[in-house]
């Protein structure tokens, strides 16, 4: 058994009680080890390196218990998230108010350090200050109480949103499984305008009180108020200011300006498209074209103008072929990686698959686990997580997961994806690449341990290879005949990349600005979620009656659980970097018109960004690759706006 296999949890043997016990034992060991560091010399060898190893061991020990609360392991696990979140919050408060440890970092800051050590020290000092180290003991206690309150409220919110997603929509006897977004996927196909409107109304109403068990309105108000109070306690004007203190965006105003600039440009194109779709709807007898009709007529337009439909694509997009002959193929050509299926290794569910990832020398980089299907209790959406993040002390071996929520199929049946789901596979594996290719000295600087508005760069950038002709030709083969996707369909796919971008851009900007406005508002001035949301969307400057936000406040986990609060903008901030990198691939490192799809280009991306983690300032990594700062207008070009 290899080293990395011994670190793979025996998921079938886990219980909520064993997970809690594992957390408790890890926390006890961690706190005792921190206590021992209080008296050692403030040097890299005596303090910083041991602290990092202590932190790595603790992170590895608690990763699986937390993971089990997110993947629908059963109702017995539901109470565990609140328990672990509270315990973690209390432990984090003890660390960030430990004056002896803080002073070690203060002393280290004065020393001549290598770049990675200096970056880590600066980052940790900021986290101490954001954790209340400069507050009086009384204020520190108040901060801890607020953090516990926020953690509890966020857990309740997450669990209620999970219940929303587990409740099917029923219309005229038909059932539809909900998806995260406001616009339900089924709206593309429903021919009855009345049925479309009913489905959209049910989607928009999630969390607004029709079912008390999933009503999140009061939780939203309580979370916003507690975060505002926390920010004031730390000396910030708003929660958004506190969040942006750790990001690459220079200010709240800069983040909002980007959203506004891109959103306003998208609104102009949206108006033209809306007029066209309304005419189509009128020809079908739909006099009052509305939001519920948008997806249906956009899809019809796409099929008519591009000749491309999900149904036509379906036989070419089998899940495991897309992953193995598409996602893994691109990773091999760019980064020299190979993925070998390890069927004898098991995940937490029978539908999981485990692969071993090796670099081109044959050295193992660890294990990759994919959990593709939705199930009751599983968090919505798609995400990556590291159960073990590789760094120098692990010989750069990781255990990394990708979770998706594709509709499951019966055992033995093949799963076919939509094109959006194909992009999701490439996106999430971009995060995995960030983890597997990390070559940092410290665990605390490794992989995706970077600011939220930088972490989406590798994932969004990896989506570009889904459209590359060589990659598509390798995975898009007909399930029955083995025929490569026709050249005409390939051309249509390329054209489809910017199709419909006006709508998705406006709905994203609406959500991101809503997130910003919640977290820059004075809670004393807010009377209800309904009134604030309606007013905020109009005030944002990116408003259309035809485009509700991608997530409304009552089903917006990015903003109201521990994650992307006041940071949902980061997807678009990262996209400015992505757009520049895509241009770099096409124009600077392309060979023989290959669009940059070559090993030399992959080596440079790996060297300057993917391997660096937070071993230096992320913007320095970006400039080292591209040679200049990112420009917002590149997004407009990328999105065809």
pLDDT digits (tens, 9 = 90+) for 127-143: 999 999 999 999 999 99
User: Bigger pLDDT: 498 or 231?
Assistant: 231
Instruction: With beta carbons less than 8 A apart as the criterion, state whether 415 and 409 touch.
Output: yes
Burial class (CB in 10 A: 0-12, 13-18, 19+), 10: exposed
- Give the range among 241-245, 397-401, 489-493 with minimum mean pLDDT: 489-493
Closest residue by Cα to residue 586 from 637, 535, 524, 523: 637
**Which helix or strand (DSSP H or E) is residue 373 part of?**
strand 364-373
Residue 9: CATH number of its domain? 1.20.1050.40
Closest residue by Cα to residue 315 from 414, 412, 411, 405: 414
Closest residue by Cα to residue 228 from 521, 452, 512, 515: 521
Which of 134, 149, 174 lies at the terminal end of a domain, its last residue?
A: 134
Q: Give 533's DSSP letter.
A: H
Mean pLDDT, range 304-309, rounded to an integer: 83
Is this structure's pTM higher than 0.85? yes
> How wide is the angle at C-alpha 577 spanned by C-alphas 581 and 465, nearest 5°?
45
Q: Which residues pair with 402 in a beta bridge?
A: 370, 384
Instruction: With beta carbons less than 8 A apart as the criterion, state whether 609 and 615 touch.
Output: no
Kindly state whether residue 600 falls inside one of the protein's structural domains: no
Instruction: With beta carbons less than 8 A apart as the criterion, state whether 418 and 311 touch.
Output: no
77-81: long-range contacts (C-beta < 8 A, 24 or more apart)?
A: 77/16, 77/19, 77/377, 78/159, 78/377, 79/16, 80/16, 80/19, 80/20, 81/155, 81/158, 81/159
CA distance 564 to 35: 32
Which of 114, 134, 154 lies at the terminal end of a domain, its last residue?
A: 134
pLDDT digits (tens, 9 = 90+) for 269-299: 999 999 999 999 999 999 999 999 999 999 9
Range of the domain at 401: 314-445
534: which residues sit within 8 A by CB, 6+ positions away? none
Residue 562 confidence (pLDDT) above 80: no
pLDDT score for 345: 97
pLDDT score for 341: 98
Pair of tokens at residue 355 = 């692969």
Range 599-620 burial, b when 16+ CB lie within 10 A, else e = eebbebbbebbbbbbbbbbbee
Closest residue by Cα to residue 523 from 147, 148, 218: 218
pLDDT score for 79: 93
Integer angstrom CA distances of residue 476 from 244, 402, 471: 41, 21, 8
Phi, psi dihedrals of residue 380, rounded to the nearest 5°: -75, 170
14: which residues sit within 8 A by CB, 6+ positions away? 64, 68, 73, 348
pLDDT digits (tens, 9 = 90+) for 147-193: 999 999 999 999 999 999 999 999 999 999 998 999 999 999 999 99
| Pair type for strands 364-373 and 398-406 | parallel
Kindly state whether residue 215 falls inside one of the protein's structural domains: no
pLDDT score for 1: 55
Kindly state whether residue 18 falls inside one of the protein's structural domains: yes
Q: Hunting for tokens 């609104």 — which residue is that? A: 267
How many Cβ atoms are within 10 Å of 283's Cβ, its own excluded?
8
pLDDT digits (tens, 9 = 90+) for 491-501: 888 888 889 99
CA distance 602 to 609: 10
- In this structure, is the dihedral angle defined by the CA atoms of residues 433, 438, 442 and 448, taken in order, positive or negative? negative
Calculate the average pLDDT of the chain: 95
Kindly state whether residue 543 falls inside one of the protein's structural domains: no
Q: Would you state the torsion angle of the CA atoms of residues 504, 594, 623, 393, taken in this order, to the nearest 10 degrees?
A: 100
Which of 134, 156, 176 lies at the terminal end of a domain, its last residue?
A: 134
pLDDT digits (tens, 9 = 90+) for 413-466: 999 999 999 999 999 999 999 999 999 999 999 999 999 999 999 999 999 999
CA distance 197 to 187: 9
Kindly state whether residue 40 falls inside one of the protein's structural domains: yes
Total domains present in the chain: 2
Kindly state whether residue 481 falls inside one of the protein's structural domains: no
Residue 213 confidence (pLDDT) above 80: yes
pLDDT score for 100: 97
pLDDT score for 3: 82
pLDDT digits (tens, 9 = 90+) for 74-107: 999 989 999 999 999 999 999 999 999 999 999 9
Pair of tokens at residue 531 = 């009134």
Q: What percent of the chain has pLDDT above 70?
A: 100
3-state secondary structure of 170: strand
Residue 424: CATH number of its domain? 3.40.390.10
Instruction: With beta carbons less than 8 A apart as the criterion, state whether 417 and 346 touch.
Output: no
Kindly state whether residue 460 falls inside one of the protein's structural domains: no
Kindly state whether residue 522 falls inside one of the protein's structural domains: no
């Amino acid at each position: 058994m290899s080293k990395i296999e011994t670190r793979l949890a025996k998921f079938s043997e886990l219980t909520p009680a064993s997970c809690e016990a594992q957390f408790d034992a890890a926390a006890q060991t961690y706190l005792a080890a921190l206590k021992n560091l209080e008296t050692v010399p403030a040097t890299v060898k005596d303090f910083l390196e041991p602290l990092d190893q202590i932190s790595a061991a603790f992170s590895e020990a608690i990763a699986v218990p937390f993971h089990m609360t997110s993947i629908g392991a059963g109702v017995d696990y539901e109470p565990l998230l609140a328990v672990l979140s509270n315990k973690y919050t209390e432990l984090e408060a003890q660390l960030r108010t430990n004056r002896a440890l803080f002073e070690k970092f203060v002393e280290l800051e004065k020393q001549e350090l290598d770049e990675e050590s200096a970056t880590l020290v600066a980052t940790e000092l900021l986290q101490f200050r954001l954790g209340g180290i400069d507050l009086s003991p009384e204020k520190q206690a108040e901060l801890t109480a607020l953090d516990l309150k926020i953690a509890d409220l966020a857990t309740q919110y997450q669990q209620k949103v999970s219940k929303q997603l587990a409740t099917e929509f029923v219309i005229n006897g038909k059932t539809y499984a909900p998806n995260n977004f406001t616009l339900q996927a089924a709206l593309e196909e429903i021919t009855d305008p009345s049925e479309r409107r009913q489905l959209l109304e049910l989607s928009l109403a999630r969390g607004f009180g029709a079912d008390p068990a999933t009503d999140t309105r009061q939780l939203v108000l309580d979370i916003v108020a507690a975060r505002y109070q926390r920010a004031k306690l730390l000396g910030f004007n708003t929660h958004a200011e506190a969040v942006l203190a750790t990001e690459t965006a220079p200010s709240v105003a800069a983040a909002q300006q980007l959203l506004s600039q891109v959103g306003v440009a998208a609104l102009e194109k949206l108006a033209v498209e809306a007029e066209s779709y309304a005419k189509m709807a009128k020809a079908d007898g739909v006099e009052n074209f509305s939001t519920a009709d948008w997806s249906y007529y956009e899809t019809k337009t796409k099929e008519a103008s591009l000749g491309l439909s999900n149904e036509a694509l379906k036989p070419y997009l089998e899940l495991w072929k897309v992953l193995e002959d598409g996602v893994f193929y691109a990773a091999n050509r760019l980064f020299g990686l190979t993925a070998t299926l390890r069927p004898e290794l098991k995940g937490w569910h029978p539908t999981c698959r485990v692969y071993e990832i090796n670099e081109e020398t044959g050295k193992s980089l660890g294990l990759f686990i994919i959990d593709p299907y939705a199930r009751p209790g599983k968090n919505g959406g798609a995400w990556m997580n590291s159960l073990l993040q590789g760094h120098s002390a692990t010989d750069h071996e990781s255990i990394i997961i990708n979770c998706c929520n594709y509709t499951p199929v019966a055992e033995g049946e093949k799963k076919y994806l939509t094109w959006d789901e194909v992009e999701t596979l490439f996106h999430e594996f971009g995060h995995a690449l960030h983890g597997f290719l990390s070559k940092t000295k410290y665990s605390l600087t490794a992989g995706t341990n970077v600011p939220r508005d930088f972490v989406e760069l590798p994932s969004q950038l990896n989506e570009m290879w889904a459209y590359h002709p060589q990659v598509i030709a390798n995975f898009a083969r007909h399930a029955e005949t083995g025929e490569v996707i026709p050249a005409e369909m390939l051309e249509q796919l390329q054209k489809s990349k910017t199709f419909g971008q006006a709508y998705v851009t406006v709905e994203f900007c609406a959500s991101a600005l809503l997130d910003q406005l919640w977290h820059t508002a004075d809670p004393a001035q807010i009377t209800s979620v309904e009134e604030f949301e309606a007013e905020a969307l109009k005030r944002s400057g990116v408003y259309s009656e035809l485009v509700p936000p991608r997530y409304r406040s009552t089903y917006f986990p990015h903003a109201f659980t521990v994650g992307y609060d006041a940071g949902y903008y980061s997807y678009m901030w990262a996209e400015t970097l992505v757009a520049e990198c895509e241009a770099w691939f096409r124009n600077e490192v392309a060979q023989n018109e290959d669009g940059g799809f070559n090993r030399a280009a992959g080596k440079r991306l790996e060297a300057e960004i993917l391997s660096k983690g937070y071993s230096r300032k992320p913007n320095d990594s970006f400039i080292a690759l591209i040679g200049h700062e990112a420009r917002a207008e590149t997004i407009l070009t990328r999105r065809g706006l």
